């Protein structure tokens, strides 16, 4: 794979290990969504947008990477993945409770648990997105997408394309080799061939002319 990018990420060095394949090119330029119509503009790096509460800086992010969702929580510069309110309420994540009060944690994890803990609705025992499959990468022909936190908003759910994965701690759960291979395989996948011809063009392509239809042939033969 050949990477063309204005910034470095944690797996880039593998180009020197595996060699550069000119046929598989990753133009890793960050784009940000500017409205719900799907319009994009090229930007600098789109980094986590932290919420600041007293002495705590935190953010929850959802990334779609090569067909899989990854839920990332960033609390005071540390990364956590697939958290859920039920475990927190039962006394787990004690190291997080020291820096993030329970009301903030409920708010923090409410979107991924479908507000289960607050409304006593559904299953709050797991993150309903983390490590689940998606078709957003395929539909947008982009291996790395940053998604709106709750995935319930109207319009375009995608915030940015081609963010730097190390900014979101992905290097802690996906090895450089695995992410390099995943992105390379995504980019080299076979693209479906879409037939954009009109009905008339398809008829002509089959060897018929548009003036002589099947009905006319039947009438002329008297059958």
pLDDT at 93 over 90: no
Residues of the chain with pLDDT > 90, as a percent, come to 39
pLDDT at 77 over 90: no
User: Collapsing DSSP states into helix, strand and coil, what is residue 168?
Assistant: helix
- Token look-up 């081609």 returns 162
**Confidence band for 160, pLDDT divided at 50, 70 and 90:** very high
**Confidence band for 29, pLDDT divided at 50, 70 and 90:** very high
Q: In this predicted structure, what is the pLDDT of residue 115?
A: 41
Report the mean per-residue pLDDT for the chain: 78
Predicted TM-score (pTM) of this structure: 0.75
Which is higher by pLDDT, 42 or 208?
42
Per-residue pLDDT tens for 194-217? 556 677 666 665 666 555 554 555
Which is higher by pLDDT, 45 or 53?
45
The answer to whether 37 and 121 are in contact (CB under 8 A) is: no
pLDDT at 64 over 90: yes
Which is higher by pLDDT, 2 or 108?
2
- Segment 159-180 shows an average pLDDT of 96
Most confident range (mean pLDDT) of 32-36, 145-149, 168-172 is 168-172
Taking the CA atoms of 152, 156, 161 and 167 in sequence, report the sign of the dihedral they define: negative
* b/e sequence 67-104, b meaning 16+ C-beta within 10 Å: ebbbbbbbbeeebbbbbbbbebeeeebeebeeebeeeb
What are the percentages of helix, strand and coil residues in the chain, rounded to 5? 30, 20, 50
pLDDT at 156 over 90: no
Q: In this predicted structure, what is the pLDDT of residue 125?
A: 54
Per-residue HEC secondary structure of 184-206 comes to: HHHHCCCCCCCCCCCHHHHHHHC
Q: In this predicted structure, what is the pLDDT of residue 120?
A: 40
Q: In this predicted structure, what is the pLDDT of residue 117?
A: 37
pLDDT at 96 over 60: yes
Which is higher by pLDDT, 2 or 90?
2
**Confidence band for 122, pLDDT divided at 50, 70 and 90:** very low
């Amino acid at each position: 794979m050949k990477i063309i990018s204005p910034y470095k990420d944690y797996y880039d060095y593998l180009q020197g290990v595996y060699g550069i394949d000119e046929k598989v090119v990753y133009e890793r330029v960050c784009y940000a969504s500017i409205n719900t119509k799907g319009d994009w503009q090229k930007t600098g790096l789109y980094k986590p947008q932290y919420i600041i509460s007293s002495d705590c800086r935190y953010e929850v992010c959802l990334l779609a990477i090569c067909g899989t969702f990854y839920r990332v929580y960033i609390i005071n510069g540390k990364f956590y993945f697939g958290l859920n309110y039920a475990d927190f309420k039962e006394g787990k994540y004690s190291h997080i409770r020291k820096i993030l009060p329970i009301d903030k944690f409920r708010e923090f994890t409410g979107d991924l648990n479908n507000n289960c803990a607050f409304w006593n609705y559904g299953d709050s025992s797991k993150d309903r997105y983390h490590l689940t499959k998606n078709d957003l990468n395929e539909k947008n022909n982009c291996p790395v997408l940053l998604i709106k936190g709750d995935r319930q908003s109207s319009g375009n759910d995608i915030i940015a394309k081609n963010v730097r994965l190390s900014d979101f701690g992905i290097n802690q759960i996906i090895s450089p080799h695995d992410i390099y291979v995943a992105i390379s395989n995504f980019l080299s996948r076979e693209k479906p061939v879409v037939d954009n011809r009109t009905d008339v063009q398809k008829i002509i392509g089959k060897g018929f002319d548009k003036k002589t239809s099947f009905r006319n042939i039947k009438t002329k033969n008297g059958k």
